[in-house]
């Protein structure tokens, strides 16, 4: 079922409603909470439909931003518009050297808030800048790659134990002992040998060695409270 987020006039808050019926689901909420609500609703839709939810969130256009200090505005298929990128910087997609791109990623992933938005694919200026302006030298290719990731988050249901390469537990909500207990209960391995097991944001447990030649990897948020993540594989 399609959902729409709209910014309220003269306010920093947003309204969430059903696209088809116009039913209001949230009258006035923050943009972050609006996205969390839609993520939960999409998950429920997916459960009802056997694993396939509503149409995936997609970028359908880019325009020059009219907001002071911003480079571009991304237009999504649900109607929302997000301004992003500094209008005074030369980005990797505009010919900046590879070293500058690497420094950009190091700097922004060191910021916990930005890292969370990027890793969780939260529609935000941080996500758009990272993937569209600083991923590869091709702007079109970057939009394509980000849309693929957004589709994977919406349309691929994950069953516990099926095709899981890693399990990530948010440190904000889980201790290492709680993570171990959850894995035991689900019959999964407690393998902490992955190089970035104890990261600033999460505990990451390996289920088996990755095989880059056979599989590609996508991260799937399976808990609306952002407590548990699966990194799973597909042929």
**Whose structure tokens read 């972050």?**
32
Average pLDDT over residues 13-25: 83
Average pLDDT over residues 161-187: 77
pLDDT for 43 equals 57
Residues 6+ apart with CB under 8 A from 181: none
What CA–CA distance (Å, rounded) separates 218 from 233? 7
pLDDT for 229 equals 59
Pairing mode, strands 70-76 and 202-206: unpaired
Average pLDDT over residues 46-63: 65
pLDDT for 140 equals 93
Q: Which of 50-64, 133-147, 152-166 tops mean pLDDT?
A: 133-147
Average pLDDT over residues 205-220: 60
| pLDDT band at residue 159 under the 50/70/90 scheme | very low
Query: What are the tens digits of pLDDT across the range 35-51?
Result: 777 766 765 665 454 33
For residue 229, give both structure tokens.
Answer: 């993540």
**Residue that wins the pLDDT comparison between 106 and 4:** 106
What average pLDDT is seen over the chain?
78
- Kindly state the percentage of the chain with pLDDT values over 90: 26
For residue 194, give both structure tokens.
Answer: 């992955």
**CA angle (12, 61, 233) in 5-degree steps:** 95
Q: Nearest Cα to 218, choosing from 232, 207, 205?
A: 232
pLDDT for 4 equals 80
| Backbone phi, psi, residue 134, to 5° | -130, 20
| pLDDT band at residue 184 under the 50/70/90 scheme | confident
pTM of the model: 0.51
Pick the range with the lowest mean pLDDT from 25-29, 135-139, 187-191, 230-234.
230-234
| Backbone phi, psi, residue 124, to 5° | -165, 165
């Amino acid at each position: 079922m399609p959902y729409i987020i709209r910014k309220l006039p003269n306010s920093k808050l947003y309204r969430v409603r059903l696209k088809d019926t116009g039913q209001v689901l949230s009258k006035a909420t923050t943009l972050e909470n609006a996205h969390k609500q839609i993520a939960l609703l999409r998950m429920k839709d997916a459960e009802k439909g056997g694993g396939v939810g509503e149409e995936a969130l997609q970028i359908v256009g880019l325009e020059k931003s009219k907001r002071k200090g911003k480079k571009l505005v991304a237009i999504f298929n649900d109607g929302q518009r997000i301004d992003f990128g500094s209008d005074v910087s030369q980005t990797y997609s505009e010919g900046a050297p590879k070293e500058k791109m690497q420094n950009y990623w190091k700097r922004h992933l060191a910021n916990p808030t930005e890292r969370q938005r990027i890793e969780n694919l939260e529609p935000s200026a941080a996500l758009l800048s990272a993937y569209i302006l600083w991923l590869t030298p091709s702007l079109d290719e970057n939009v394509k790659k980000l849309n693929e990731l957004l589709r994977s988050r919406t349309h691929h249901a994950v069953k516990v134990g099926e095709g899981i390469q890693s399990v990530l537990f948010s440190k904000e909500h889980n201790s290492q002992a709680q993570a171990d207990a959850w894995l035991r209960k689900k019959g999964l391995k407690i393998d902490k040998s992955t190089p970035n097991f104890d990261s600033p944001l999460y505990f990451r447990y390996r289920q088996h060695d990755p095989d880059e030649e056979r599989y590609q990897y996508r991260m799937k948020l399976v808990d609306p409270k952002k407590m548990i993540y699966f990194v799973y594989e597909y042929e």
